[in-house]
Amino acid sequence: MAIRSPEALAKCIDHTLLRPEASADDIRRLCAEARAYRFASVCVQPVRVALAVKELENTGIPIGTVIGFPHGANGTAVKVYEVERAQEQGASEFDMVIDLGAVHDADWQLVAADIQQVARRVHAGGGVLKVILECALLNSAQKRRAAEIALESGADFLKTSTGFASGGATLEDVRLLRQVAGDRCKVKAAGGIRTLHAAIEMLEAGADRIGCSAGVTIMEEAMRAFKQTA
């Protein structure tokens, strides 16, 4: 993906704050930054959805939240309830962690059923589902199979990472997910993306969206860079 302006870059960034210690003022600051830069969305913990919705009222900026986060170990019924509750509060984008234990058990039927039920609830409310594979914890065969199942089960995005595991997004993983996705769904890179260079690399490797907490830093770099080349 070629980025031709800071504004175009901002539309590729999910401005994210998922630290467990994040305060209400931190969330307000996140939302103010999203308003200033017109990011694609904000992504917050479920307990902060209502606050983010209030702060971004009438801006058109979607509110995202996480489901089964960060380990994917919640039962499917719990994940579906998390979606329902967040939808009631105004969230419209949902980053769901797959059942990683089931992946390692090669219980692909369970992996698929988990995603399908969450996808059904998300889509019934008109939302977007981003399925987190947590690539750092999977081998290449597991990544590919999990990505294929996620796509078949209703994912709107294949997402690399939570940012809370042993590693984050890599160019290799983004390319693999892009290869599986083709033009059937989108790809989100997340975890450890803190510079303009890293963000551009991920987009050029095939990501459609970047999830990061360093959105402001990246935008400041981008504005300087585009100004120099203007």
Catalytic positions are: 95, 159, 188
In this structure, how many other beta carbons lie within 10 angstroms of the beta carbon of residue 125?
14
Residue type, 119: A
Q: How many residues does the chain have?
A: 230
The dihedral sign for the CA sequence 53, 56, 57, 59: negative
Q: Which two tokens stand for residue 46?
A: 């479920």
> Is-contact 80 173, C-beta < 8 A?
no
Q: Which two tokens stand for residue 56?
A: 């971004």
